[in-house]
Amino acid sequence: MYKFVMPEVIFGSGSIRQAGESCARLGAKRILIVTDEGVMNAGWAELVEQSCRASGLSSILFSGVSVNPKEDEAEACARAYIENECDALIGVGGGSVIDIAKSAALLATNGGHVRDYEGVDRITYPLPPLVMLPTTAGSGSEVSQFSVIVDVNRKKKMTIVSKSLVPDIALVDPDVLSTKSPHLTASTGLDVLAHAIESFVSVAATPLTDVHAKNALTLSARYLRPSVASRYNKEAKEQMAMASLHAGLAFSNAILGAVHAMSHTIGGRYPLLHGDINAVLLPHVMEFNLIAAPQKFKEIAFLMGEDVRALSDTEAGEKAIQFVRKLASDIGAPLTLSEMGFKEESIPIVSETSLSDACMITNPRDITAEEVAALLRQAL
């Protein structure tokens, strides 16, 4: 028995201009637009405001979102929603913005604190209409049933999982990717690759999720390099937007694995880009997981364009790992945790905390705190 959840998806150039009409179709009148300073400076939030006005809707802007979104930011966003008597939310930004919009919607209708909902299926009351417009390719949060928020006191990222968090409408516009720096394009693109690989080898993978994971693998392997190389490569941007969408649909339903469990934990303690952490951890975790799913790793290598016809499953899996390392190097991603400022002294607490992350449950190979620590030392 399989379950697959997803929102309505509108994909294509100019779909950002559908934001107002999308909210109007959901019965909304007063919209809270959640974004950040970078997206505002690029002009995308203003386009959404214009779209709302064109559909006869009023809007309020909330831009207090940081790189690793925090619990107090979600609470401030929820207060803005309530105090301005809004009835729908639009998230315009990367994964941090979209996760804050989801958590704010949760708090506005269910009350309490974000930490009250950490874990799986703890939401009681329906959320207001949610329209999400990703400006990166990307987190996949615009189609997922996840929200990941930092608990500053515990120095960890909380993972909230619920069908209630699946947005009503996702607007995926490749044009908005043109304002992203090469570093951010590389970081978010490697997050797409990590989503695709982890969801494909997840113990919760199904034929429905595999279709999306495979497409995401093929597209990101082919188009991430040219997307990083030029912000004006329209084909590469469109295909990476599609890869991110496919990967989001895959991991929302198959969940992820040790890479994300570890990166969530590191991201709760260090102000680092989520995709950069994933880029470093991914090949090490792939090596660890190879014995658990060698046939799938051979297929990963094939989908990446490697010739695996004369290779055993394990040999082909090694090719996939080499491909990931070469790709990260080619696009200038960080290759070690230490170069990003991660300290060896954090390994014990990160190792223990990672085991409680929801993503660890679906990792294809059982893992202990000692094995997590060993992987972190390899990645230093």
User: Which domains are delineated in the chain?
Assistant: 8-176 (3.40.50.1970), 180-379 (1.20.1090.10)
pLDDT at 8: 98
Q: Tell me, what amino acid is at 340?
A: M
Residue 159, both tokens? 């993972």
For 59, the 3-state DSSP assignment is strand
Judge contact between 181 and 341, C-beta under 8 A. Answer: no
Point out which residues pair with 58 in neighbouring strands: 30
- Pairwise CA distance, residues 356 & 361, whole Å: 9
Can you give the pLDDT at residue 138?
A: 87
DSSP string, 155-168: TEEEEEE-GGGS-S
Residue 156 has what pLDDT?
87
Q: Which of 108, 115, 68 is nearest to 88 (CA)?
A: 108
Cβ(89)–Cβ(81) under 8 Å? yes
The edge-to-edge listing of strands for the beta sheet with 30-34 is: 8-11, 169-172, 130-134, 88-93, 30-34, 58-62
* pLDDT for position 246: 98
Q: Which residues of the chain have pLDDT under 70?
A: none
In the three-class reduction of DSSP (H, G, I as helix; E, B as strand; rest coil), residue 40 is classed as helix
Contact 190/332 with Cβ under 8 angstroms? no
At residue 171, the 3 state secondary structure works out as strand
**What is residue 286's predicted lDDT score, i.e. its pLDDT?**
98
- Residue 39 corresponds to which amino acid? V
- Dig out the tokens for 238 from the structure: 């469109």
What is the structure's pLDDT at 359? 95
Reported pTM: 0.96
Give me the pLDDT at residue 110, please. 98
What residues contact residue 88 under an 8 Å CB cut-off, 6+ apart?
23, 26, 28, 30, 31, 32, 128, 129, 130, 131
What is the DSSP code string of 77-124? HHHHHHHTT--EEEEEESHHHHHHHHHHHHHHHH-S-GGGG-EES---
What was the pLDDT predicted at 1? 85
Q: Cβ neighbours of residue 8 under 8 Å, at least 6 residues apart? A: 168, 169, 170
